[in-house]
Chain A
Amino acid sequence: GAGVSQTPSNKVTEKGKYVELRCDPISGHTALYWYRQSLGQGPEFLIYFQGTGAADDSGLPNDRFFAVRPEGSVSTLKIQRTERGDSAVYLCASSPSPGGPSDTQYFGPGTRLTVL
């Protein structure tokens, strides 16, 4: 079946602009995660959704970052007043219901964000 998809694959914006990044999880997966990966580093956790609610947003770096998942499927990561330091690959992952037989997180291809 279809894996996790993310759009756009690349986004170039200017400092101070607003951007939205979209994630389509695997159908039926209730858990959705956002991570950020800088060059040469491992992914860093941003936020985790269980269903429609943010179960853990402790990784969001500041209040310029916000994410929603209004219907428990597609999620949007929103970044206000972008800064050059926000440049990174933003990865989305999904996993089946918690407590189930698998805790595997399946990653999307990422959105490469470049802030000029």
Chain B
Amino acid sequence: GENVEQHPSTLSVQEGDSAVIKCTYSDSASNYFPWYKQELGKRPQLIIDIRSNVGEKKDQRIAVTLNKTAKHFSLHITETQPEDSAVYFCAASTVNTGRRALTFGSGTRLQVQP
């Protein structure tokens, strides 16, 4: 089955700096890669996603890049703010056909220092 690895496990940045979180996946059939933000005691919330037919997607301060050949994808947050502090999870799945369930990485705890 699919295996998703995520690095780093913790990340501390100064407000205004950029943050990058990286994930690798094992199943070449995976074609959908969402990123979720989870604040303490709250539900995971989708912040951005990308499909395998696209190499990059951007939404304001957040961007995701995908390298299908190398089977890795990354989350980029620019101009970080204290409210970006949370745990971020990457995930992978095969939509439309095959296993639709998400396989999650182990999470990255991002702390933005004011």
Contact = CB atoms under 8 A, between A and B. Distances in A.
A109 B42 contact: yes
A113 to B, nearest CB: 15
Interface of B: 6, 32, 34, 36, 42-46, 49, 89, 91, 93, 95-96, 99-107
Contacts, number: 58
Contacts of B34: 104-105
B107 A104 contact: no
Interface residues of A, number: 26
A45 B45 CA distance: 16
Contacts of A103: 32, 49, 93, 95, 100
A56 interface: yes
Contacts of B99: 56, 58
A98 B95 contact: yes
20 contacts: A4-B43, A33-B102, A35-B102, A40-B107, A41-B106, A42-B91, A43-B104, A45-B101, A56-B99, A59-B101, A91-B43, A98-B100, A99-B96, A104-B46, A105-B34, A107-B36, A107-B44, A109-B42, A109-B43, A110-B43
Given A41-B106, A44-B104, A107 B43 contact: yes
A21 interface: no
